[in-house]
């Protein structure tokens, strides 16, 4: 599956520019993290889908970086704890996919995934990739200070081979903003409502596409939004030229709200659809909703 990127970086006098939809190649061996911790699958959140939770992880989201002087309310702490426990899993014909919240020590692999995607799409010279990675990392760090009003999810995939199971791989990522406090200050056109949930920056490792990973990144995002937001509407962008993602979104019941004017071509941008879907609202589980298994 192709990817949808709408990153914004502090570069120009207005402090922003946007990145459009791209694809990428991703080599896990080039990254410092070869294995990634998967939460204990015996901790389950009651849900209609295949979602699970963990009681703890190697890095707590409560220890993540926040802006100096920012204090979290009781509600924000509860939401942060829920994000830490969130895990979506799905068995595929070719293997298993897990989706959970990105931890601080996983920023660098996601930086490579997103930066290389943009560089490949825009045919950037290789000499610029380190600068681009620096900008993407600054973006991710800045965005993470807005948790729990936004979140970056990451997908892991373990395939099935004849002689057993493959090693687990980082497979993809997606970003979600839940409300206006987590909205990006500079959104691509057509502009979605800032007080509504918004899905962007979806990327899947090129070697792992066509396995349903992008679909389950989308489904995990929708389930998390249903639990974290009081709004029933979720928005996303899709470029007009990207047929495969558009077919996936329409299959998931997203409808076109509006489309970019042809005048955006004068700004060297691809025309995009703004799409919307109504989601069922699911309240966050209480402590009594979480069941534990010793198996």
Question: For residues 61 and 142, is the Cβ–Cβ distance under 8 A?
Answer: no
Which residues, 6+ apart, have CB-to-CB distance to 124 below 8 Å? Answer: 118, 132
Q: Measured between alpha carbons, how far is 195 from 166 in angstroms, rounded to an integer?
A: 42
> Catalytic one among 88, 198, 235, 249?
249
Q: Measured between alpha carbons, how far is 60 from 72 in angstroms, rounded to an integer?
A: 15
Q: Which of 21, 85, 29 is nearest to 214 (CA)?
A: 21
- Asked about 249 being catalytic, the answer comes back as yes
Structure tokens at 273: 């659809």
Q: Could you tell me the end-to-end alpha-carbon distance of the chain, in angstroms, rounded to an integer?
A: 36
Q: Measured between alpha carbons, how far is 21 from 208 in angstroms, rounded to an integer?
A: 18
| Cα separations in angstroms, 192 against 36, 136, 186, 237 | 34, 22, 11, 9
Structure-token match 């914004």, residue found: 8
| Partners of 43 in beta bridges | 292
Burial of 67 (0-12, 13-18, 19+ CB in 10 A): exposed
Question: For residues 133 and 115, is the Cβ–Cβ distance under 8 A?
Answer: yes
| Partners of 112 in beta bridges | none
| Nearest-5° Cα angle at 179, 101 to 273 | 90
Structure-token match 């990254």, residue found: 31
Is cis: bond before 166, omega within 30 of 0?
A: no
Active site residues: 249
């Amino acid at each position: 599956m192709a990817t949808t990127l709408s990153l914004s970086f502090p570069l120009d006098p207005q402090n922003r520019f946007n990145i459009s939809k791209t694809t990428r190649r991703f080599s896990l061996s080039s990254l410092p993290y070869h294995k990634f911790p998967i939460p204990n699958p015996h901790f389950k959140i009651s849900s209609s889908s295949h979602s699970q939770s963990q009681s703890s992880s190697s890095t707590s989201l409560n220890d993540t970086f926040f802006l100096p002087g920012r204090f979290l309310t009781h509600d924000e702490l509860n939401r942060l704890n829920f994000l830490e426990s969130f895990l979506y899993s799905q068995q595929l014909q070719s293997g298993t996919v897990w989706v959970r919240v990105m931890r601080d020590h996983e920023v660098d692999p996601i930086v490579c995934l997103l930066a290389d995607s943009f560089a490949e799409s825009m045919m950037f010279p290789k000499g610029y990739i380190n600068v681009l990675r620096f900008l993407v990392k600054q973006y991710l760090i800045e965005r993470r200070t807005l948790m729990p009003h936004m979140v970056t999810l990451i997908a892991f995939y373990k395939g099935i081979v004849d002689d057993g199971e493959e090693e687990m791989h980082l497979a993809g990522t997606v970003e979600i903003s839940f409300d206006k406090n987590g909205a990006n200050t500079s959104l691509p056109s057509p502009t979605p409502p800032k007080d509504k949930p918004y899905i962007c920056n979806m990327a899947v490792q090129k070697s792992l596409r066509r396995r349903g990973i992008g679909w389950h990144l989308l489904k995990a995002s929708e389930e998390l939004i249903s639990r974290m937001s009081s709004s029933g509407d979720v928005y996303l962008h899709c470029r007009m030229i990207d047929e495969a993602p558009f077919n996936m979104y329409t299959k998931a019941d997203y409808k076109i709200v509006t489309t970019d004017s042809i005048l955006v071509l004068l700004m060297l941008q691809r025309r995009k659809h703004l799409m919307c879907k109504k989601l069922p609202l699911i309240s966050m589980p209480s402590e009594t909703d979480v069941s534990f298994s010793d198996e």
